[in-house]
Amino acid sequence: MTGVVKRMRALKNKLYALKFGPGGAVLPANITRIHMEFGLKNGQGHVGPTKFWRDNLPRLKFWNPSVPMIVNRTSEADKPATMSIYLRQSAAGSSKKKGGGSNKPAATTTATTKPSATEATTTPDTAEAKQAASRSAWDGTAQPPPPVDGERVVTIDMTHMHSTAILAELVTKTGAVAAKPNLDEAEDMAALADVKKQGEADRKLVLEYVQGQKRQKALLERARREADAIKAANAM
């Protein structure tokens, strides 16, 4: 039972670290995708982007599962490390009435039509193309796609930037809101922190006890050897 409790605590600590660590933030609804491009090696100022991808991006994806986050790693070490943020622009004037005329509703007819053979064959290809465009790559093939109609792209040059600076720039440019635990989660995290603190104190006490036992045993062994030496000297 003790092993189960320990594993559950470790699992909770990992879960809370994933949810509320650096990078845990909720993106606005107008963010359509995020694209990162940096080198396979950490030279030429790509250490920060690599750390952001390893530590911060999983938390960002946890809170924004519907936002595609594409990573393109390339062997070109001298290429700048960039982050492209795709934002959906609001359609101005979309609620305005188109055209004029009377206020009478126009007669409409509905008809069900079967998709043509061309549409049936192109639909899977389009889905596969979209899926392929959202895949990450480690050979430099996942290039940032061009923005579609109604999108704009904000670019961050991550070269020579620390991961914390990259995160701060992302939050500033997107308006992301840091994720915070609710009351129950905060209480559970505080309880886990208390258990960890108490465990560290207990381990310190146990270590001091074990070291004291070793010192006492060494002293007794030393006294025994001295006593044996004295007995041997008196016997002569």
| pLDDT bucket at 65, cuts 50 / 70 / 90 | very high
pLDDT at 2: 65
Residue 8 within any structural domain of the chain: yes
Residue 109 within any structural domain of the chain: no
pLDDT at 173: 92
Q: Do 27 and 50 reside in the same domain of the chain?
A: yes
Domains: count for the chain: 2
Round to whole Å and give the CA distance between 149 and 88: 9
Q: What are 28's two structure tokens?
A: 């606005």
pLDDT at 195: 77
Q: Do 17 and 87 reside in the same domain of the chain?
A: yes
Residues 72 and 144 sit within 8 Å (Cβ to Cβ): yes
| Chain segment 184-196, per-residue pLDDT in tens | 877 877 777 777 7
pTM over 0.75: no
pLDDT at 15: 76
- Domain stops at, among 157, 179, 201: 179
Q: Do 82 and 148 reside in the same domain of the chain?
A: yes
pLDDT at 111: 37
Round to whole Å and give the CA distance between 218 and 223: 9
| Chain segment 120-142, per-residue pLDDT in tens | 444 444 445 455 556 787 777 78
Which residue range is the domain that position 151 belongs to? 4-91+126-179
Euclidean distance between the first and the last CA atom of the chain, given in angstroms as a whole number? 62
pLDDT at 57: 93
Q: Which three-class secondary structure state does DSSP give residue 129? A: helix
